[in-house]
Amino acid sequence: MRIGIDGRPFQAALAGTGRYVTELCCVLDRCLPQADFFVYSNRSTTLPVSNDRWHLVGDSSPFYSRLPSSIWYLERVGYLAKKNSIDVFWGGANFLPRGMDSCGRVLTVLDLVPELYPQTMGLKHRLAYKVYFSQSLRQADKLVTISQGSKSRLERVFGVVADVVVFPGVSKRFRPPTEQEMNRVRRRYELQDPFFLAVATLEPRKNLEALLTALIQIKISGRVNIPALAIVGQVGWKAGALLKLVEEAIAVGIKIHQTGYVPDEDLPALYGASSAFIFPSIYEGFGMPVLEALKCGAYVLASDVPEIREAGGGYATYFEPSVEGIKQTLLQFLQSKAYLHPESRLDHERITRLIDHGSTWEEEGRKLATVIKSLT
């Protein structure tokens, strides 16, 4: 079996999409030992698995190789996949290339951001979605979503029913950290004081502006003390207003730590060391950081969005993702002074209940492998 895979998620430091696709590729490698995998990318790319069955496919054409990555993927990879005699192609990030009529086609729909919240996206992404997304849905032989919420929205908005939900799993590294591990990341990122943690690309949908505005209002009111805020994530698009708010927060006396990208091996200790993990996003396809933070024993305060509730279950505290909703939840949390006693969240009973919360990558990857095998 020859399986083609969209290589775009592997072109940069792994964020949510990259981690989701990478983890599933690792399971596919184990579940389909007779398969060869062809990852298509015209940019510098790290293969998700390193063995002789995984192949990086670029482009020898001087013209096509210089195209923007997404345009190259959508317009060129169908031709290249035919040349490679691909049996099944998996589009793991919302789109399938055009001209994929010679093989089985699996499409994973991660979210419906451009449909539901187009104002949070750049013009290029909105145009690509408008031109190619419906076409990708029509091309797909099998449709996958990453949450029941996304499956419901897809049916409601486009009238199509996904064949299976392949949830994000949680790596075994996400577990309550030791005191030594927490002290290491505190030193590394200069987080000696109690701190709130936010993990997100700095872009409008993540709603960090509302979080900062709520913190500023609480600080100015003088009603409670506010821990520092650590923001983990790379600067994305439309981040100008957010970065100005960071300066305003610092000006009123809130400590802000912008770490930029943080390697996966540091995240569990950061989650565990935080006074609370705050996830204010206005919409997600699932909400992987919520599940990861819970597995690490963190208090989680998150937006009340159906897909995020799938990640957090009954273990998170939810708020309306508005300035007022965030502010009221933070005030209640801070007034309880729970953040001063992080050891209380690491009690054995609570952690025992969380062990079985959520899926494993192995379970979810096997679902995807079954879908792929059904097309051969």
pLDDT tens, the chain, 376 aa long: 999 999 999 987 667 788 899 999 999 999 999 999 999 999 888 899 999 999 999 998 988 888 999 899 999 999 999 999 999 999 999 999 998 888 999 999 999 988 888 888 877 788 888 889 999 999 999 999 999 999 999 999 999 999 999 999 988 889 889 999 999 999 999 998 889 999 988 888 899 999 999 999 999 998 888 899 999 988 777 778 888 988 999 999 999 999 888 888 999 999 999 999 999 999 999 999 999 999 998 999 999 999 999 999 988 999 999 999 999 999 999 888 665 655 555 555 566 666 666 788 999 999 999 999 999 8
- Is residue 365 exposed (0-12), middle (13-18) or buried (19+ Cβ within 10 Å)? buried
What is the per-residue pLDDT for 56? 96
What is the per-residue pLDDT for 368? 97
Task: Show the CA angle centred on residue 160, arms to residues 157 and 162, nearest 5°.
Answer: 115
Contacts of 310-316 spanning 24+ positions with Cβ under 8 A: 310/147, 310/148, 310/149, 310/167, 310/286, 311/147, 311/168, 311/284, 311/286, 311/287, 311/358, 312/287, 313/357, 315/353, 315/354, 315/357, 316/290
Return d(Cα 9, Cα 14) in angstroms, integer.
8
φ, ψ of residue 34 in degrees (nearest 5): -95, 0
Amino acid, single-letter form, for residue 130: K
CB 208 within 8 A of CB 234: no
pTM beyond 0.85, yes or no: yes
Return d(Cα 197, Cα 213) in angstroms, integer.
16
Closest C-alpha among 245, 215, 219 to residue 330: 215
Residue 303 has which token pair?
Answer: 């937006």
Return d(Cα 183, Cα 212) in angstroms, integer.
26
Residue 66 has which token pair?
Answer: 């210089």
What is the per-residue pLDDT for 14? 66
Radius of gyration of the chain from Cα atoms?
21
Element (H, E) at 89: strand 88-91
Name the percent of the chain in helix, strand, coil, to the closest 5.
50, 15, 35
What is the per-residue pLDDT for 47? 94
What is the per-residue pLDDT for 353? 62
What is the per-residue pLDDT for 192? 81
